[in-house]
Structure 1
Amino acid sequence: MKPRRSVAEARTAAGRRLVLSEQDGAWAISLDGQELMHSRAHASELALAEVGWADLGTAAPRRVLIGGLGLGFTLRRMLELAGPDTVVEVAELVPAVVAWNREHLRELNGACLDDARVVVREGDVAAMIRQAPRGRYDLLLLDVDNGPVAMVAAGNASLYAAAGLRAVRRALRPGGRVVFWSAGPDEAFAARLRQVGFAVEAIPAKVHANAKRAAYMLYAASAG
């Protein structure tokens, strides 16, 4: 097996070291030496899009916001599911991640950024949601940080607090849907979703499609 090589690195706003690496054709992004995502462990990123789209269908134009570009798997799957009139906004906090997708990860999923349906927005997805007009989105897919327990940036925690969840609900049209990726079960988070008026379903998600057990949790919440 070839050694892992560092391809590019950047700093977060808080000064933490983010590294893009490659090994035997597989790609990974790590934060201060801790792996955040890997191209051979992306089943939950695909499931995020599939769970979100499941109850929406493709008959009418849709506006979707994906929070967190990562290695682009959720974006790719959403474009596969969505119709030609769907607008897919992608919010990414770290500009270097967008640049890496365009340059180094183009053959993985980076070419999806050139799809005419895609709008790339660099910045804080929580702020974008707070500033969005009421009912702007049909679907929100939020793979931000490590889920309800922030790891990359402490400010991400605001998205999962009650005020952040109320902003999410306001940004969704009636009957719209949000799906949160979480590193594990979080009953307190599910309770907060219900408290602000969401109907919530917790859906286990695997690391690999053929894994025997689920490792992550997707929280799908519908706005009445």
Structure 2
Amino acid sequence: MTTSILLYTILTYSFAAGFQLLAPSIGSCNARGGAIVPQASSSVLFADVLHKPGPFAAVDGAQQKEMLELFNEQITNEFAASHLYLSASIWFEARDWEGMASYMLAESSEERQHALSLIQFANKRNMDIQLQSFPQPNSNWESPDEVWGDILTMERDNTGSLLQLAQAANACQDFAMLAFLNPFHMEQVDAEAKIGTILAKVKDEQKTPGLLRQLDHELGQEAAVSGP
């Protein structure tokens, strides 16, 4: 009798300890209170979580769908940003601001590369990518400060859309997505700060004649160093 009780106690303790060890691997993909599901390992594909039956079938499909939609929108935003920079480059080139034209052309190429990086990441995870159309970029500016003002507004909007995507990824505990987006966030911090400084200098042209030509020269040199 004593031996049976001792054996039962040992088995009960072992089961409880084993459950505690497994508990950290259980989590929720729905930060708003959805079903509890096992956490996906880093090797699990997005498509597996979204479509496959089995242990991940309880993942909140609405949140996964929202994240996918925001991801597709971000690809569109990056291509749209590339076209706006290209339009600005054409505008400056037509008015003999060669340095600013070169700078805008280099930025256009960089934004396009951002979009391609997003697509490459999505393809690795079997995410459903749907290319979308976007509005024609502005080209009817009256002055350089209007051009730079539009560029700054676009960069701020891009920052906001990236944050929305990151929030959706965080709600689904998609840590691979969050890690992938981190460099984009830091680039946006730098971009907003730089464009803001350039815009301030452009507006100071009336106070300091010749400043705009100097800025044009500096931006041209920067574009030449960074390359296409």
TM-score by length of 1: 0.26
Structure showing the higher strand proportion among its residues: 1
Higher RCO, 1 vs 2 (CA within 8 Å, ≥6 residues apart):
2
Give the structure with the higher percent helix. Answer: 2
TM-score (structure 2 length as normaliser) = 0.26
Larger radius of gyration: 2
